[in-house]
Structure 1
Amino acid sequence: MFRKILVAIDGSRHAIEALDKAIELQKLTGAELYLLCVYKHHSLFEASLSIGRPSDVQIPDSALESFAKEVVEDAKNHAKEQGSAEVRGFVKSGKPSKTIVEFAADKSIDLIILGSKGTHGDKDGLFLGSVAQRVAGSAKCATMVV
């Protein structure tokens, strides 16, 4: 049925719920489990627009990448604690929805699982977050929104 399952994670409650669903499916199918955390690249221009402007403006990518690596490591540990056999973690920079879909195509993913909302999801009244909506609408493989 499924050989490769991708879970898009961002550290949110919804992402952990998606991960738990993926672990259940992995146990049923024996699929490989891929975890992907995407952080948005900030240009020098975007970084310079902050209220406090230090004399040496730095792009916050290194801090974002470090946080994304922590999110992946925490998710891998969670999956292993839940009995997941094979888990691979990845961190990418880019527009989340586009990067998730491209990663899935590159890795021949059979199923993408992601939370219905991301880290800001509890604040709005929308049914689906923008990333979930875009991934579900553009992925070439099956997509499950949890």
Structure 2
Amino acid sequence: MFKKILVAHDGSNGADAALEQAAGLCKLTEAELVVLTVYRHHSILEASISMVRGNGEKSGNLDDAMKSAAREVGEHSKALVRTLGVSKVQAFIKGGPAARTIVSFAKEKGCDLIVIGSRGVGAAEGYMLGSVSHKVTSIAQIPVLVV
């Protein structure tokens, strides 16, 4: 049925539920699981503004911070999948617009199903994956399971 399943994971409760469903499908079908965490790249203006704190002191690069946070989410999701009994799992992080990045990555990796939570972390909590399930379902050429 399915040979390779992509799960989009942003660290939210909805993404954890999607991960659990994908893990269950992988166990049933003996499919490989690919976990993708997407972080948002910032424009030069956003990055330069974010590098200056209120007191004028420079902080780190915003893209580097987002990449680091995405890496932590990816490692957490990979560990969670292993506790659910799935041994064939790979975790990746990518920067870019979430929905388009998810769909293009699924195509690049030869996935035949995308599993995504219906709601992500949302604008108030950060710039990670967010709630992009509607857009993914509208542009994907493969089946999408929204959890």
Residues in 2 aligned to 1:116 and 1:77: alpha-carbon distance in whole angstroms: 22
Instruction: Give unpaired runs (5+ residues) of structure 2.
Output: none
Structure 1: 4+ residue segments shifted above 4 A: 55-58
Q: Which amino acid aligns with 2:121?
A: T
Q: Distance in 2 between matches of 1:54 and 1:110?
A: 49
Deviations 1:103-125 (A, max 9, x none): 011111100000001002899xx
Which residue is equivalent to 1:141? 142
- Give the equivalent residue in structure 1 for 2:107: 105
Asked if 1:64 corresponds to 2:72, the answer is no
Identity over aligned pairs, percent: 45
Partner of 2:39: 39
Q: How does 1:74-89 map to 2 (within 5 A)?
A: 74-89=76-91
Query: Separation in 2 of the partners of 1:105 and 1:19?
Result: 19
TM-score by length of 2: 0.88
TM-score after normalising by structure 1: 0.88
Structure 1 stretches of 5 or more lacking a match? 124-128
Paired AA for residue 122 in structure 2: H
**Secondary structure of 1:7 counterpart:** strand
Whether the 8 Å CA contact 1:48–1:57 is kept in 2: the answer is: no
- Partner amino acid, structure 1, of 2:31: A
